[in-house]
Amino acid sequence: MKNTVAAFIVFTLYNSAYSQSGQQVDNQKTFAKIFGYVRYFHPSDEASAVDWNAFAILGSSRVDKCTNSSELKAELNKLFLPIAPSLKIYDTTEHPQFNVGEITPPDIKKFKTVAWQHLGVGIRNGTNNIYNSARTNRPLLVTTATEFGSLTMHCADAQKYSGKEFAFSAKVRMVNGNGSGHLWVRVDKPDKAMGFFDNMDGRPITDKKWAVYSITGKIDKDLSAIYYGIFLKGNGELQLDSIVMKVKAGDGWETVYASNLAEDKVNEFPKSIRENAKGNLKQPGFTINTVLSDDEKKCVSIKSTDSGEGSGYKKEKHDLLFEKFPAVGEYINKDIGSGLSCIIPLALYGDDDYTYPVADTGRVNAFKKELASVSDSFQSGNDLYVRLAGLAISWNIFQHFYMYFDVAKTDWAEDLNTAITSAYHDKSDIDFQLTLQKLTAKLKDGHVSVSNESIPQQNYFLPVGWEWIENKLVITDVLPGILQVRQGDIVTHIDGIPAGNYYQSIEEHISAATKGWMEYRANREALKGTRDSEVNLTITTAQGITRNVNLKRSLNKTDYKEAHKKAETVKKIRDDIYYVNLDGVTDVALSNLMPSLEKCKSIIFDLRGYPTVEPELISHLITQKDTSRKWMRVPRIIYPDQENIAGFQEIGWELTPQKPHLNARIIFIVNGSAISYAESFMSFIEHYKLATIIGQPTAGTNGNVNPFSLPGGYSISWTGMKVLKHDGSQHHGIGIQPDILLNKTIRGVREGKDEFLDKAIEIATR
């Protein structure tokens, strides 16, 4: 095992100044293709027990050295035969036959069929998960782990701190792993709305050295509870000490809580925190214990677990995910490139102990040791083989399970080629994040995002908002205290680069199904950067004066969102006309408003954003039971490359009318920022013709996301199902189309008008 690790170190040093050949790119493409076929469709017990992230790293490093097809074939056999003994890799010029007798035991009476079924793809299998993957006649490996390992605490008698300033701090370090640490504070309100909230999303803790971190702010006056704590996101170990919560009391500070671990027992949950703790002290996938730090002082450890008790996985018996599955004798015969092809059986015989044929135990155990060394040795996208492994894993998830290639219209095989070439040239983990973004941008999926908590986040915003209006980049919003620019100023250059060119470099890293979502994402990304970084803008004022101004990125994501909230969530236009912002109003507030809305002549609902209310509102608009039950569809996959899909699991909301019925003229305002749940909401309005829809088309992306993780700490979210309009026509890439299409004007911005709302009021008062 030591020799294996040393070999990887040599490879890493060699690759620090790497120039790939065409052969090497072809090797990686071939490995990626067979990797996906075996990973998701070969049903052997040996393959199902593999750490596939480690396998991808090992495989990409081994095939990288092959100089011709013969060497590549031999290396692939060494990699895959220990876990897929019935696999055949052959030269494409040959014509071997699949022989079912080779995978048939002498006596089949006690054997059952073992084959893969994928409902979507089960990246995190679970009873309540809409996506699952399982083998027939084998237990389901169910995820029980939480996404975060969180130490959650609370303020007793929270109301007495109403309106006071607070300071929450802790001494923290990230010991190891690709995860990140976060302090967090949340103030809850009586109407279930959230008050102050900060979880250090834009400034995660990744440093391995001890340092003090803090969150400061003001507690909302109208509150029901105050929660705070520290969480580990992702894998690794986080250590913390000196946890202190204080509130302002006159000229000084009152200590609400201060940790003291002196009497706590090592390897147990800290007793000194237990009385102040809230929520689950035991969290599947994580341990929270008192430990001894390197200096033999006690501290609190939040640690992800990989195996054994608390690992976050359990085996459960299960029925078939759906009726169809491959029969023994079915197989695939696929060209995998580099002059090679493979034959893989899609179903095997299996009894209670093993699938047939059984792999050589010695080879399997030796292979497991090799994989174990890989998982301990590779932690960063700075390594070439972590990058190549990430491409093999992510490319295959989309190749076999992404439902919108008919809309994306991209050459996905060529996209892999481009991404592999880019990965060889990448010099850092940040470079590779950009490579992943460029690759996934080809999918035209508005749910796609690529993140890595171990990479410093560029999540600080300029104190303005801007949009492309009349083919010009126009300042549409200016925060109080910013005097250098005004609403309606036109930005011609950003850091000396023409605004159009600046946006072009941003848009190639954004996955979007529609122009509206692309513009919305690009407008935000163009504002973002590192904390307090300065940006030079060349602007032209309404008077035609051109000048340069400098602005700093001073707002984190939470503060920026809060600063750009609409001033009012509910507004009475006149006694019989109300305006309701659905991206802000709470269910409680909406329920209390119902008696007034019932009497209205017209109601304007603003859904330029994401709904903060339940779908119950729609039930107050419909007059008959919802009969649309098939607009969300989860694919049933049993064959690779999305061939012969075995149907879909069809889902709807099945809403029923509720009283009071809102018998007013209804107007909905939408734009390109309305995505996912907002489009589910609007799909009912469109299908049942419940309102006049005005504004811009929505984002054209809907359905539950199905995020997955890659080696090196990268995470990718994407749309794991297919969503149609209620009449069965295409939604993705089209979205909800307004009845009245509107465009902003530069004049309207300069005059401080909300032209979409003005139009809605005009319609409402006719």
Which tops the pLDDT comparison, 579 or 126? 579
- Cα–Cα distances in Å, from 471 out to 413, 491, 511? 35, 11, 22
**Could you check whether the bond before residue 660 is cis, i.e. omega within 30 degrees of 0?**
yes
Per-residue model confidence (pLDDT) at position 369: 84
- Spell out the long-range contacts of 541-545 with Cβ–Cβ below 8 A and sequence spacing 24 or more: 541/486, 541/489, 542/486, 542/488, 542/489, 542/750
d(CA 756, CA 742): 7
Rg over alpha carbons for the chain, rounded to the nearest Å, is 28
Measure CA 118 to chain center: 20
Structure tokens at 236: 């690794």
Sign of CA dihedral 27, 31, 33, 34: positive
- Cα–Cα distances in Å, from 410 out to 156, 395, 716? 56, 13, 19
Instruction: Give the DSSP letter string of 82-145.
Output: TT-TT-EEEETT------GGGG--S--TT-EEEEEEEES--TT--TT-S-EEEETTS-EEEE--
Which single residue is written with the structure tokens 């302002």? 248
Note whether 338 and 26 are within 8 A (CB).
yes
Q: Read off the amino acid at residue 265.
A: K
Structure tokens at 476: 């549409």
Per-residue model confidence (pLDDT) at position 576: 94
- With residue 29 as reference, give the H or E element that holds it: helix 22-41
d(CA 714, CA 709): 6
**Bridge partner residues of 651 (DSSP):** 632
Which single residue is written with the structure tokens 């030079």? 536
d(CA 35, CA 574): 64
**Residue 281: pLDDT above 80?**
no
d(CA 108, CA 535): 72
Per-residue model confidence (pLDDT) at position 373: 79
Ramachandran class of 338: left when φ > 0, alpha when ψ lies in -120 to 50, beta otherwise: left
Which tops the pLDDT comparison, 417 or 566? 417
Note whether 235 and 178 are within 8 A (CB).
yes
Per-residue model confidence (pLDDT) at position 762: 97
Structure tokens at 281: 């002290």
d(CA 552, CA 548): 14
**Residue 5: pLDDT above 50?**
no
Burial (CB < 10 A; 0-12, 13-18, 19+), residue 646, is middle
**Could you check whether the bond before residue 498 is cis, i.e. omega within 30 degrees of 0?**
no
d(CA 469, CA 472): 5
Per-residue model confidence (pLDDT) at position 4: 37
Percent of the chain with pLDDT over 90: 70
Sign of CA dihedral 239, 241, 246, 252: negative
Domains, the chain, with CATH or none: 2-137+322-444 (no CATH), 148-304 (2.60.120), 460-563 (2.30.42.10), 570-639+653-764 (3.90.226.10)
Predicted TM-score (pTM) of the model is 0.84
Note whether 550 and 496 are within 8 A (CB).
no
Question: Which residues, other chains included, contact 567 with Cβ-Cβ below 8 Å and sequence gap of 6+?
Answer: none
- Cα–Cα distances in Å, from 53 out to 231, 532, 712? 24, 37, 10
Mean pLDDT of the 258-285 span:
82
CA nearest to 475, candidates 461, 462, 492, 488: 488
Measure CA 376 to chain center: 25
Tens digits of per-residue pLDDT, 338-360?
999 999 999 999 998 999 999 88
Tens digits of per-residue pLDDT, 52-95?
999 999 999 999 999 999 999 999 999 999 999 999 999 999 98
Per-residue model confidence (pLDDT) at position 765: 93
Strands 211-218 and 665-670: what pairing? unpaired
Reported in sequence order, the residue ranges of 264-329 that DSSP labels E, i.e. its strands, are 286-292, 298-304, 313-316
Structure tokens at 157: 């008698």
Q: Is 691 helix (H, G, I), strand (E, B) or coil?
A: coil
Per-residue model confidence (pLDDT) at position 515: 97
Tens digits of per-residue pLDDT, 481-510?
899 999 999 999 999 999 999 999 999 999
d(CA 446, CA 517): 7
CA nearest to 26, candidates 394, 398, 339, 396: 339
Kindly state the DSSP code that residue 359 receives in the 8-state scheme.
P
Mean pLDDT of the 163-171 span:
93
Structure tokens at 302: 């939040």
Instruction: Say how many Å lie between the first and final Cα of the chain, rounded.
Output: 79
**Residue 118: pLDDT above 90?**
yes
d(CA 766, CA 761): 9
CA nearest to 466, candidates 670, 757, 749: 749
For residue 484, the tally of other CB atoms under 10 A from its CB is 15
Which single residue is written with the structure tokens 């495989």? 59
Question: Which residues, other chains included, contact 505 with Cβ-Cβ below 8 Å and sequence gap of 6+?
Answer: none
**Residue 527: pLDDT above 90?**
yes
The top-scoring range by mean pLDDT among 312-321, 476-485, 632-641 is 632-641
Give the model's confidence band at 277: pLDDT under 50 very low, under 70 low, under 90 confident, else very high: confident
Structure tokens at 486: 């005004």
Give the model's confidence band at 7: pLDDT under 50 very low, under 70 low, under 90 confident, else very high: very low
Per-residue model confidence (pLDDT) at position 453: 76
Mean pLDDT of the 197-208 span:
84
**Residue 13: pLDDT above 90?**
no
CA nearest to 507, candidates 495, 520, 494: 520
Tens digits of per-residue pLDDT, 401-453?
999 999 999 999 999 999 999 999 999 999 999 999 999 999 999 999 999 87
**Residue 6: pLDDT above 70?**
no
Q: What average pLDDT does the structure give for the chain?
A: 90
d(CA 172, CA 170): 6
Give the model's confidence band at 696: pLDDT under 50 very low, under 70 low, under 90 confident, else very high: very high
d(CA 73, CA 624): 63
d(CA 746, CA 417): 43
Note whether 115 and 136 are within 8 A (CB).
yes
Per-residue model confidence (pLDDT) at position 208: 87
Per-residue model confidence (pLDDT) at position 192: 66
d(CA 300, CA 268): 10
Note whether 560 and 575 are within 8 A (CB).
no
Per-residue model confidence (pLDDT) at position 374: 80
d(CA 695, CA 545): 32
Mean pLDDT of the 268-283 span:
79
Q: In what order do the strands lie in the sheet with 88-91?
A: 88-91, 340-345, 331-337
